[in-house]
Amino acid sequence: MTENTAAAIEFARSHRDRFVDELKALLRIPSISTLPEHAGDVRHAAESVVAELRRIGMENVRLIETTTAEHPNGHPLVYADWLHADSAPTVLCYGHYDVQPAEPLDEWTTPPFEPTERNGNLYARGAVDDKGQMWMHVKALESLFAANGGKLPVNVRVLIEGEEEVGGEGIAWFVRAHGDQLRADVALVSDTEMFAPDLPTLCVGLRGMIYTEVEVRGARTDLHSGMYGGAAPNPFVALAQIITKLKDENGRILIPGFYDKISPPTQDELKAWKALPFDEEHYRQTEVGSPELTGEPGYSVLERTWARPTLDVHGMPGGFIGAGAKTVIPAKAIAKISMRLVPNQTPAEAFAQYKASVESIAPRGVEVVVRLIHSGDPIVVSTDNPYVKSATTAMHEVFGTETVFVRGGGSIPIVGDFVRELKIPTLMMGFGLPDDNLHAPNEKFHLANFHRGIESIIRFFCLVQA
Ligand code: BES
Ligand code: MN
Ligand code: MN
């Protein structure tokens, strides 16, 4: 470790409490990107990140607006750079400052936007996904600036979006239209998990997705179910019939052609996954908590969640959902349905196959409209570059163990564009834990991992320079 690295680590260690306090302030802002009534909060979060990037010494710090005719009400991007490290490589740091909705609120032990420390964890919506992890980047940069006379060991660009949780259209537009302003040698993404506590992890693949709505209309207006039941179509029953024809009891998706182009993981990958410390029964009990796990027979849980497509229903708005009973045949109903995609599937083709399938299986008596809400490509990143070595060395210095290589079942739509549009290797170095409750009540960030993440990133920047 060089003197400069040691000084930055020392700075980070002696400012741990302040770093956490600042993160708490950011977590108090309910920057829920999908809810229009929170647009002001989303912008407020972006502005506070801008202010901090300026304060620590980044340059060209600004908000980039993403609203266009095709993309109304876009949330702003946060951009910053520092490009004075001469011949050193340029790292593009990515994160997102938007969060998922916090419902159901009554299942939170402490309120989602009142960050609270308990047992070494910081509980709040966005703690780990992704404000806490994005803040690790900012605090690593601050530590390097502060300990090294206002200089960084590498060139850095920072790009932080506020629409990741709604599909990332704004950032995709910017990367495609203005890729020249993002020239870099490697992208660093901290928005994934470690495979297990104390096990440094690089994520090398993500599933893609298509998020859709199916709207079913039957009668002209809501009807009395006694007077009309038996003669009038019920949109919820129609949706149930459609859904059960999309996926069978074994978890196999029945959409014609859906699996045709899938490229399976390599034998080497499958072998490496078998060697990971994974206990299916422990996973069922502690993470899932259902009486049994479901899914395709013949595939391990890791294959099912990382390398197989899936189809899920997220909610079915419509009808009567109040307390008590109301005998109504709703005129319309909606199902929010998404599919996770795996390498070689494309969102466009998957959506076309799905739409045709839904239209062909819709029962008599109803009209069906299938809408695409957002989508993202599946991705597998190459590990054949020197930055992987810098990352694993950095994490070895912090954790004292070898890095494992995994895939993730989730999606980060922009990673595909970093690889395809910017043509740069992407490192997904995340510090979440499997039980951090992403998107769920009681989301948390294990604070030890927040600090280890900051130290890993400091060391990574210093190693990349060498
Ligand atoms: N950080 C997650 C994605 C993730 C989680 C990847 C865990 C790997 C492991 C990200 O914020 C996320 O939730 N993405 C959404 C994207 C979608 C809305 C386009 C997802 O996966 O549902
Ligand atoms: Mn995320
Ligand atoms: Mn998320």
Q: DSSP assignment, residue 120?
A: T
Could you give the residue ranges of the DSSP H alpha helices within 307-383? 347-361
Mutational test site, ligand 1, from 164, 213, 417, max ligand atoms within 8 Å of CB = 164
Tokens of 381: 């990143």
pLDDT of residue 2: 87
Give mean pLDDT, residues 245-272: 97
The confidence band for 1, taking pLDDT boundaries of 50, 70 and 90, is: confident
Residue 435 has pLDDT above 90, yes or no: yes
> Which residue ranges does the chain devote to CATH 3.30.70.360?
208-262+309-376
The residue whose CB lies within 8 Å of the most ligand 1 atoms, and thus the one to mutate among 31, 191, 428, is: 191
Tokens of 62: 């600004």
Residue 376 CA, closest ligand 1 atom number: 19
Position with higher pLDDT, 1 vs 117: 117
DSSP code of residue 421? T
- The full length of the chain comes to 466
Average pLDDT over residues 386-403: 98
- By CB atoms closer than 10 A (0-12, 13-18, 19+), residue 391 is buried
246 phi and psi, to 5 degrees?
A: -90, -25
CA of residue 42 to ligand 2 center, whole Å: 15
- Residue with the smallest CA separation from ligand 1 atom 16 is 411
CATH 3.40.630.10 domain span(s) along the chain: 3-206+378-463
Q: Return the pLDDT at 89.
A: 98
Distance 105 CA to ligand 3 centre (A): 17
Q: Sorting pLDDT into bands at 50, 70 and 90, what band is 3?
A: confident
Give the pLDDT confidence score for residue 241 in this predicted structure.
Answer: 98
Q: What is the structure's pLDDT at 144?
A: 98
User: Which residues sit with their C-beta closer than 6 Å to ligand 1?
Assistant: 129-130, 164-165, 167, 191-193, 206, 209, 374, 376, 408, 410-413, 438
- Could you tell me the CATH superfamily of domain 3-206+378-463? Zn peptidases (3.40.630.10)
What residues sit around ligand 3, an ion, with C-beta below 5 angstroms? Answer: 129
The total of other beta-carbon atoms located within 10 Å of residue 359's CB is 13
CA 352 – ligand 3 centroid, Å = 26
Q: Which ligand is nearest to the CA of 415?
A: 1
Q: What is the pTM of this model?
A: 0.95
Closest ligand to the CA of 409: 1
Of residues 58, 40, 38, the one with CA closest to residue 50? 58
Q: What's the 439 CA to ligand 3 centre distance in angstroms?
A: 6
Query: What's the distance, Cα to Cα, between the start and end of the chain in Å?
Result: 11
pLDDT bin (cut points 50, 70, 90) of residue 372 is very high
Of ligand 1's listed atoms, the one at least distance from the Cα of 168 is: 19
pLDDT of residue 61: 98
Question: Which residue among 32, 35, 133, 165 is best mutated to probe the pocket of ligand 1, counting the most ligand atoms within 8 A of its Cβ?
Answer: 165
Secondary-structure class of domain 208-262+309-376 per CATH = alpha beta
Cα 221 to ligand 3 centroid, rounded to whole Å: 37
Query: How many whole angstroms separate alpha carbon 340 and alpha carbon 211?
Result: 9
Q: Residue 365 — left, alpha, or beta (φ > 0 → left; ψ -120 to 50 → alpha)?
A: left
